[in-house]
Amino acid sequence: MNAPIIDPLQGDFPEVIEEYLENGVMKCIAFNRRGTLLAAGCSDGSCVIWDFETRGIAKELCDKDCSAAITSVCWSKYGHRILVSAADKSLTLWDVRSGEKIKRIILQQTPLQARLHPGSSTPTLCLACPLSSAPMIVDLNKGNTTLLPVVFSDLTNGLAPQSRNKYSEGTSPFSPAAACFNKYGDLVYVGNSKGEILIVDYKSTEIHAIVPISGGAVVKNIVFSRSGQYLLTNSNDRTIRIYENLLPLKDGIGALHDLNKSLSDLEGVEKMKAIGSKCLSLFREFQDSITKMHWKAPCFSGDGEWVIGGSASKGEHKIYIWDRAGHLVKILEGPKEAIIDLAWHPVHPIIVSVSLTGLVYIWAKDYTENWSAFAPDFKELEENEEYVEREDEFDLMPETEKVKESDVNEDDEVDIVTIEKDAFSDSDMSQEELCFLPAIPSPDVPEQQDKCGGSSSKLIDSNHSASPISEEALQNGQVATHASSPLEEDTGGTRLKRKRKPSEKGLELQAEKVKKPLKPLKSSGRLSKVKNKPLVDQDSDNHVDGDDIAD
């Protein structure tokens, strides 16, 4: 956004419903990295990709083998692929540009959520969170699955191999569990039913750290901010917690190994918790102390400055917005429909919410005009005031400018070569990012073309000034008109000025005048007197009798 134009007192967050999208019954949504495309999973198994700039459908991905409801959609880093999980236990990887299916895998359990590896441009690994099993890493090319541990056993020798195998088979009672990759995908953060956050190396399925959550409630959602600096958790105790990430964004595994060596005097759970305290630090807690409601699909804004959470109560569409300091700044109230999913636009202050009826609502900011933002010396007045000009206001060189000296150093060199880092500075400039899809125009229906052709021909005939009058038209009471007659089309040919219908006697007189042949002119002298006389009388009758010319 253009920060100088925005009034700082208004707040850079949405306020009203700007528009809604409708296409079947949509269940889940996800933006691409730039926010130009919005993917929505539907209840019939299809995935619709909306062009968010034009609010039109750019692509529709349909799989004939899948007719179950979509549970989650996820974009790859550069937007070339989309991973779709469905209620029929399937994971489907799509090529966005061509609309072709790359791979389809059937799991043992229904995946509630699936996320592609964020560190690869063409990822083949994904993280799936099944309904009644531990989170797993799925290799989409080979079809292999590796279950991640969801609990750490306090044994004398650490995590026993047999217990690790037990949890890897998905028989752990502490499931389902929420999980997510960190920013670059080298670690997985797992929230279990004991109220703990486990930091796991997915390659070796080894737990490196444990972060206990106060209250010990079941973790329902866990998500990182876009920058990777903050982690959000949503627990069953109706509290949203924000943790600050103390690990480096890159090479987090190396930092964990260094912490493990520095705390070699500790063992077991105590050591894991000590390492966890140096990985995550509790930053803020958000809750509604009055209603004590549960939260649905909480997430960060694109810049990480705001936190939103939807009300999980049935029959209300409320979105709570907090700033990162913990203050509740806005409650958005929509229609009487429950919220299913939420997403914040990566760049603009726009929230997209999915209702229980399958509609997608777009919440945007209600901007007010702030003219003083364009000119710092411009003052807005509530009413007219008498202006008293200064004595030197219209001088060529006012006294105030003579005294004032410029603070700009004209000897400094201006750098026009260096490229500043933007919000997407982590992207590979050599990789082509898919931001838009080409629009394919749909052909018109033949029936509509025929109707348009017929209406245009009728319009041409009605505007033709030299068309003759037929006897059939006279019998039906229709009179051919000149271009300047009262029946001329009004304002673009859309409406005709009405004229009083002539009587039967008038029609008979008009018919007699049309059928009577014209008499030849008697002499060239008489012709010279009437050659400039029009053959059409514009005031009364449309045609002039030959006797009038002869006379």
Residue 440 lies in a domain: no
Owner of token pair 């799936």:
128
- CATH number of 165's domain: 2.40.10.480
User: Positive or negative, the Cα torsion across 420, 426, 430, 431?
Assistant: negative
Cα–Cα distance between 503 and 250 in angstroms, integer? Answer: 94
Q: Is residue 168 part of a domain?
A: yes
Task: Tell me whether residue 280 is in a domain.
Answer: yes
Tell whether 173 is covered by a domain.
Answer: yes
> How many alpha carbons lie under 13 Å from residue 548 in its C-beta half-sphere?
12
CA separation for the pair 551, 548 (Å, rounded): 5
24 vs 44: CA distance, rounded Å = 8
pLDDT digits (tens, 9 = 90+) for 387-424: 888 888 888 876 665 555 566 677 778 888 876 655 55
| The pair of three-digit structure tokens given for residue 409, joined into one six-digit string | 């150093």
Which position has the token pair 């026993």?
160
Last residue of a domain, one of 287, 304, 334: 287
In contact, 45 and 86? CB cutoff 8 Å: yes
Comparing C-alpha atoms, which of 329, 337, 288 is closest to residue 307?
Answer: 329
Q: Of 232, 259, 287, which residue is a domain's last? A: 287
Q: List the domain range (segments joined by +) for residue 535.
A: 518-551
| Tens of each residue's pLDDT in the chain, 551 residues | 444 444 444 568 899 999 999 999 999 999 999 999 999 999 999 999 999 999 999 999 999 989 999 999 999 999 999 999 999 999 999 999 999 999 999 999 999 999 999 988 889 999 999 988 899 999 999 999 999 999 887 433 444 333 333 444 444 444 578 999 999 999 999 999 899 999 999 999 999 999 999 888 999 999 999 999 999 999 999 999 999 999 999 889 999 999 999 988 888 899 999 999 999 999 999 998 888 899 999 999 999 999 999 999 988 999 999 998 889 999 999 999 999 999 999 999 999 999 999 999 999 998 777 777 777 777 778 888 888 888 888 888 766 655 555 666 777 788 888 766 555 555 554 468 888 887 666 666 666 555 444 433 333 344 444 344 444 443 444 444 333 333 333 434 333 344 455 666 667 766 766 555 555 544 444 444 444 444 444 444 444 444 444 44
Q: What's the whole-model pTM score?
A: 0.70
| Sign of the C-alpha dihedral computed for residues 32, 35, 40 and 46 taken in this order | negative
Where does a domain end: 287, 307, 325? 287
Tokens (6 digits) for 264: 């070699």
What is the C-alpha to C-alpha distance for residues 466 and 458, in angstroms, rounded to an integer?
15
Q: Which helix H or strand E contains 277, and what residues bound it?
A: helix 268-277
In a domain, 184, yes or no: yes
Cβ atoms 249, 228 nearer than 8 A: yes
Which residues are 341's β-sheet partners?
A: 354
Structure tokens at 507: 């029609």
Q: Dihedral (C-alpha) 324, 330, 333, 338: value to the nearest 10 degrees?
A: 20
**Residues 73-96 as b or e (16 or more Cβ within 10 Å = b):** bbbbbbbbbbbbbbbebbbbbbeb
Whether 164 maps to a domain, the answer reads yes
User: For the chain, how many structural domains are there in total?
Assistant: 2
Sign of CA dihedral 397, 399, 401, 405: positive
* Structure tokens given for 25: 């019954």
DSSP per residue over 91-140, as a string? EEEEETTT--EEEEEE-SS-EEEEEE-TT-SS--EEEEEESSS--EEEET
The torsion of the CA quartet 451, 457, 461, 462, rounded to 10 degrees, works out to 40
